[in-house]
């Protein structure tokens, strides 16, 4: 990273609304948090009078249990994006290329460019068929944001093997993996897994995450880590959350059921991309009687709901993305988008239930 690279890039747009009058479907964070999380954060205050332990063994052990890997392979980071940046910074030099999925999380390309590298884009649903040879790094988002596409473990392992054969490190962003019951790729040779506690545990402001990597690559990620890079309260909160298996199971079931219900209702009006993530990508211009993205976003906002303008993702020009929230909240989304579900929610009921949310 150098001065010219940083000055040449703008910030990427992201979801999330801070308008208290809007029900936020633009960000993909869980509307629920694990039981006891506030107490865990408060209880860490006394310990915060000292520097965090080095290495933070308790957090590493909790993360290792969470994704089934060796604690020594866990590198705590302040959020998943910090793990992504660390990996890209180590792998990509000026003039290198990196194989990236599209549409996908825009920060991958931004981080590659910050290092003076050039992104090479491939369709997200075909990324595992791409040739990783001659690239400094390959990236997979599993499940992919914003499409919701996920990949079978065997497919990921075959791609990881091809990356190893090509001597190309593979970065797997598993920010939304916890919403599925599919195992992590953590601990796989030649792979760096980036995990975030932002999404599944509904705590984007805590900034807790980790990388998992083995061998020489894992040693490099660990040695490049700044000391005390994650705060004591964040470490304590993260360790607490990762042990809440009942909460995780309940969240997965709610998201699975509500995603199916939303997809069926929204498909009556929009083209809905099949998803295995806590969000749905809608083509609002592709269905009969489609409208512009600007109109859909504005109309939803007028009805008290924020949805994500997905045209900011590479290759999308008529799409919005919506999160999967609680059932009553999802009813409001359907009303705001003019969809009707089996319970009879429709656009005429926009104001119904406002006092209950």
Q: What is the pLDDT of residue 8?
A: 78
DSSP summary character for residue 69 = S
Cα–Cα distance, 69 to 227 (Å, whole number):
22
Q: What are the pLDDT digits (tens) for 237-283?
A: 999 999 999 999 999 999 999 999 999 999 999 999 999 999 999 99
Give the confidence band of 20 by pLDDT, cuts at 50, 70, 90.
Answer: confident
- Report how far apart, in Å, the C-alpha atoms of 196 and of each of 9, 67, 188, 211, 234 are: 24, 12, 18, 9, 12
Q: What are the pLDDT digits (tens) for 137-196?
A: 999 999 999 999 999 999 999 999 999 999 999 999 999 999 999 999 999 999 999 999
Domain 37-243 is in which class?
alpha beta
Cα–Cα distance, 206 to 21 (Å, whole number):
23
Which burial class, exposed, middle or buried, applies to 258 when counting CB atoms under 10 A from its CB (0-12, 13-18, 19+)? Answer: middle
Mean pLDDT of the chain: 91
Q: What is the pLDDT of residue 291?
A: 81
Contacts of 133 by beta carbon, 8 Å cutoff, 6+ apart:
166, 168
Residue with the larger pLDDT of the pair 19 and 135: 135
Half-sphere exposure of 247 (CA within 13 A, CB side): 16
Q: What is the pLDDT of residue 346?
A: 40
Q: What are the pLDDT digits (tens) for 184-238?
A: 999 999 999 999 999 999 999 999 999 999 999 999 999 999 999 999 999 999 9
Q: What is the pLDDT of residue 339?
A: 82
Cα–Cα distance, 305 to 121 (Å, whole number):
32
Q: What are the pLDDT digits (tens) for 87-146?
A: 999 999 999 999 999 999 999 999 999 999 999 999 999 999 999 999 999 999 999 999
Q: What is the pLDDT of residue 2?
A: 73
Cα–Cα distance, 124 to 264 (Å, whole number):
24
Q: What is the pLDDT of residue 341?
A: 65
Q: What is the pLDDT of residue 14?
A: 67
Residue with the larger pLDDT of the pair 339 and 87: 87
Give the CA-trace dihedral at 312, 316, 318, 323, to 10 degrees.
-70
Give the confidence band of 21 by pLDDT, cuts at 50, 70, 90.
Answer: confident
Q: What is the pLDDT of residue 12?
A: 66
Domain 3-29+246-337 is in which class?
alpha beta
Q: What are the pLDDT digits (tens) for 269-322?
A: 999 999 999 999 999 986 555 689 999 999 999 999 999 999 999 999 999 999
Region of 325 on the Ramachandran plot (φ > 0 left; ψ -120 to 50 alpha; else beta): beta
For the chain, domain boundaries: 3-29+246-337, 37-243
Q: What are the pLDDT digits (tens) for 71-89?
A: 999 999 999 999 999 999 9
């Amino acid at each position: 990273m150098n001065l010219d690279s940083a000055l040449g890039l703008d910030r990427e747009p992201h979801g999330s609304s801070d308008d208290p009058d809007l029900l936020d479907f633009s960000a993909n964070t869980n509307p629920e948090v694990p039981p006891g999380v506030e107490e865990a954060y408060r209880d860490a205050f006394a310990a915060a009078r000292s520097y965090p332990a080095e290495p933070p063994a308790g957090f590493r052990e909790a993360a290792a249990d969470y994704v089934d890997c060796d604690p020594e392979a866990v590198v705590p980071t302040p959020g998943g994006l910090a793990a992504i940046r660390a990996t890209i910074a180590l792998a990509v030099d000026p003039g290198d290329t990196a194989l990236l999925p599209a549409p996908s999380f825009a920060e991958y390309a931004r981080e590659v460019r910050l290092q003076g590298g050039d992104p090479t884009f491939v369709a997200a649903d075909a990324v595992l068929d791409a040739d990783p040879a001659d690239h400094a790094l390959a990236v997979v988002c599993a499940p992919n944001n914003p499409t919701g596409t996920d990949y079978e473990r065997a497919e990921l392992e075959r791609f990881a093997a091809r990356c190893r054969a090509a001597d190309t490190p593979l970065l797997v962003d598993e920010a939304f993996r916890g919403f599925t019951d599919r195992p992590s790729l953590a601990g796989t040779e030649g792979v760096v897994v980036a995990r975030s506690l932002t999404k599944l545990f509904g705590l984007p402001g805590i900034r807790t995450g980790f990388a998992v990597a083995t061998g020489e690559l894992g040693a490099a990620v660990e040695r490049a880590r700044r000391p005390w890079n994650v705060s004591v309260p964040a470490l304590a909160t993260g360790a607490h959350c990762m042990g809440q298996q009942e909460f995780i199971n309940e969240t997965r079931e709610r998201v699975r059921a509500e995603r199916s219900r939303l997809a069926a209702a929204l498909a009556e009006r929009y083209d809905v991309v099949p998803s295995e993530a806590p969000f749905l990508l809608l083509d609002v211009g592709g269905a009969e009687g489609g409208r512009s993205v600007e109109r859909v976003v504005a109309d939803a906002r007028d009805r008290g709901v924020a949805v994500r303008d997905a045209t900011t993702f590479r290759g999308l020009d008529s799409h919005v993305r919506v999160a999967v929230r609680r059932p009553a909240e999802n009813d409001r989304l359907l009303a705001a988008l003019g969809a009707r579900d089996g319970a009879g929610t429709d656009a005429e009921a926009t104001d119904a239930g406002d006092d209950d949310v």
